Amino acid sequence: MFWVPPDAIRFGLANDPVGTHGSRTIMLSELTALLAACSATAAPEDYRAAIIEENVLGKKTTATRKESARRLRELYGLDLDRPIYRAMRDLWDADEAARPLLALLCAAARDPILRSTGDVIVEAATAALITPQQLEVATETAFPARYNPMMLANIGRHAASSWQQSGHLEGRRPKYRSRAISRPASVAYAILLGHLCGARGDGLFTTIWARLLDAPPHVLRDQALAAARMGWIEYRSAGSVTEVSLPHLLRGVAVAA
Give per-residue pLDDT as tens, 171-181.
Answer: 988 999 999 99
The number of C-alpha atoms within 13 Å of 239 and in the hemisphere containing its C-beta is: 1
* Contact of 198 with 192, CB cutoff 8 Å: no
Neighbouring residues of 131: CB distance < 8 A, sequence distance ≥ 6 = 156, 160, 174, 175
* Contact of 213 with 101, CB cutoff 8 Å: yes
Q: Report the distance separating Cα 156 and Cα 117, nearest Å.
A: 9
pLDDT of 257 > 70? The answer is: no
DSSP letter at 244 equals: E
pLDDT at 172: 85
Q: Which amino acid is at 94?
A: A
Phi, psi (rounded to 5 degrees) for 169: -130, 160
Give per-residue pLDDT as tens, 42-87.
Answer: 999 999 999 999 999 999 999 999 999 999 999 999 999 999 999 9
Mean pLDDT of 199-219: 96
Going along 54-210, which residue ranges are E strands?
A: 129-130, 169-170, 175-177
Q: Report the distance separating Cα 226 and Cα 123, nearest Å.
A: 27
Task: Supply the pTM of this predicted model.
Answer: 0.96
